[in-house]
A and B are shown apart, each in its own frame.
Chain A
């Protein structure tokens, strides 16, 4: 697997494939299908200070080549994640990226300080882009100055590198990316879901109880690629790309756009084996395309001889 290893701040990835936060719970469900140690990393479900039930149902609605969700950050809360979920995950040889969410700046700081102490948490993913909660979340991810400030405060308390998850629901994603880089972010993860809606034909009302939800799946892939293409040329920190990936070919496409690793979200619901399947298929695809190492693909869309120092292990 030496053709797939990637070094990123805090993360020594045996391959650049990881399930995206919110699409994999805390790993327990998918551990019945395959050995989680095969994964490059796992982005666990967003954790808040207190337990959250989330939104009323219906929480999901299918769309053309995609789905809307409005789960509402349901999670068992910081204490249980630290005492139950993370120790359970430590039986696997896989770095954990802990997704940190909150309503107030203090919430983020409390979760980040505590969860980053766990030995298997190698990085944080600062969730400033959840579109499905009323307060917090996306409020921090649409105003550059607020995002910069939050990143800085979290960096002060975190014991591991901090990646900031960017929302596509902004006018200028490059400005947001630069703001969090300036705030000290070690990396970016992008993109979160796009706010969308579907209506019921019979009632005329929104299908989702939350009315709006986050659009994910293959439908958003072109948006993700365009945003990664723009941001990767404007910042000097690595990007973990996501948005509709479900095959090895698409992983390469995200690398071409400028991603240094990728996360797979919605596709896990369609095929529980999608991550190990992609990992297995990547080497032969690299052969077909004539690459020795996957890092050679990074940034080809805009770079002549694209390769940055942090790629090779």
Chain B
């Protein structure tokens, strides 16, 4: 069930250039049911910026009623968010959307987790949960450049981790798609920029693949029809899914990206 809650910030720190890790306390943590769900944050009780910011959940600590988000400081809203510190309060709506299905892989099987840039964070909780059920996980994480790389050590705790950078300043030079060609897996989970998702979907049309999409949102709960995408049904051109409430995670081929 979705809650609107005033949550207390436990900690916030910059973990890479313009990448912030924000930890908050919330009663609705118990409602989080899958990795890859997100929350909708009102960064200021003001008219400007007006709308909430959708930010994915990167890890969940149910015992302490806390969860963590990792986001990039980019526009007006995330800049305001980045200024907040421990003890301050945040108006958060969540948990929202449908996350990655962890039951699609069995113990002993291999899952490949592929993240690009700010699409990396939700894969962390996914990796934790898959590992806990005995799935072997491999991570391939792509970034622009060395200063943008984060969480390599954290992912390494759960499995092999390959890092790529576009400019070659860290890890392997190139894109995640260059690395995953050489890897074998039973199920692939991915989150990142749309061109990356498209390339992966095309490359693995015969495999079990789950994609997390990003789209500009209004309400975050399915009412405003801002974040709509077409389904792959070629017989009609009016069938749709909403990224916020039907997604953000879809099975590859379910929607047109």
What residues make up the interface of A, taking CB atoms closer than 8 Å to B? 22-25, 28-30, 32-33, 45, 51-54, 57-62, 64-67, 69, 71, 74, 76-77, 217-218, 266, 268-273
Question: Which 3 pairs of residues, A with B, have the shortest CB-CB distance?
Answer: A25-B223, A29-B223, A269-B219
Specify which chain A residues have a CB less than 8 angstroms from the CB of B4 in the assembled complex.
33, 271-273
Inter-chain CA distance A311–B240, complex, in Å, is 43
Report A287 CB to chain B, min CB distance, Å: 25
CB pair A270 B221 closer than 8 Å = no
Given contacts A53-B238, A71-B224, A272-B221, A62 and B49 within 8 Å (CB-CB): yes
Tell me the residues in window 47-61 of chain B with beta carbons closer than 8 Å to chain A beta carbons: 47-52
Complex interface: chain A residues within 8 A of B237 (CB): 53
Residues in B lying within 8 Å of A, measured CB to CB: 1-2, 4, 42, 47-52, 93, 215-230, 237-238, 240, 245
Can you identify 22 A-B contacts, CB atoms within 8 angstroms?
A: A23-B223, A24-B223, A29-B223, A30-B221, A33-B4, A53-B228, A54-B228, A57-B228, A57-B229, A59-B226, A60-B218, A65-B48, A69-B224, A71-B226, A77-B238, A270-B42, A270-B52, A271-B4, A271-B42, A272-B93, A272-B219, A273-B4
Determine the distance from Cα of A266 to Cα of B229 in the docked complex, in whole angstroms.
22
What is the CB-to-nearest-CB distance from A49 to chain B, in angstroms, rounded to a whole number? 13
Residues of B within 8 A of A29 (CB): 219, 221-223, 245
Question: Bound complex: CA of A66 vs CA of B51, how far in Å?
Answer: 8
When the two chains form the complex, which single residue of B47, B222, B225 contacts A74, counting CB atoms closer than 8 Å? Answer: B225
Kindly provide the distance from the CB of A251 to the nearest chain B CB, expressed in whole angstroms: 17
CB of A59 within 8 A of CB of B225, answer: yes
Which residues from B are CB-within-8-Å of A52? Answer: 238
Other A-B pairs, 7, CB within 8 Å; known A53-B230, A270-B50, A271-B42? A22-B224, A32-B1, A53-B228, A57-B215, A58-B226, A218-B47, A269-B51
Question: Could you say which residues of chain B place their CB within 8 Å of the CB of A53?
Answer: 228, 230, 237-238, 240
A7 to chain B, nearest CB (A): 29
Q: Which of B220, B228, B240 has the most CB of A within 10 A?
A: B228
B215 to A, closest residue via Cβ: A57
Tell me the complex Cα distance, A53–B239, Å: 7
Assembled-state Cα–Cα distance A186/B48 (Å): 37
On whether the beta carbons of A65 and B223 are closer than 8 Å, the reply is no
Partner of B51, one of A22, A24, A45, A62: A62
**Nearest A residue (CB) for B224:** A269
Chain A residues whose C-beta falls within 8 Å of the C-beta of B229 in the assembled complex: 57
A70 (CB) vs chain B CBs: closest residue: B226
Q: Is the CB of A218 within 8 A of B50?
A: yes
Could you tell me if A30 and B223 are in contact, using CB atoms closer than 8 angstroms? Answer: yes
Known: A33-B2, A65-B47. A54 touches B224 (CB 8 A): no
Chain B positions within 8 Å of A61 at CB level: 216
Chain A positions within 8 Å of B93 at CB level: 272
Q: CB-nearest residue of chain B relative to A60?
A: B226
Minimum CB distance partner of B47 in chain A: A65
Known: A29-B222, A29-B223, A53-B240. A66 touches B50 (CB 8 A): yes
- Distance from B47 Cβ to chain A, minimum over Cβ atoms (Å): 4
Contacting pair A270 B228 (CB below 8 A): no
Distance in Å: Cβ of B193 to nearest Cβ of chain A: 14
Nearest Cβ in chain A — how far from B27, in angstroms? 16
> Which among B47, B49, B224, B237 has the highest number of chain A CB atoms within 10 Å?
B224
User: Measured between alpha carbons, how far is A32 from B227 in the docked complex, in Å?
Assistant: 20
> Is A67 touching B225 in the complex (CB atoms < 8 A)?
no
Chain A residues, CB < 8 A from B50? 62, 65-67, 217-218, 266, 270
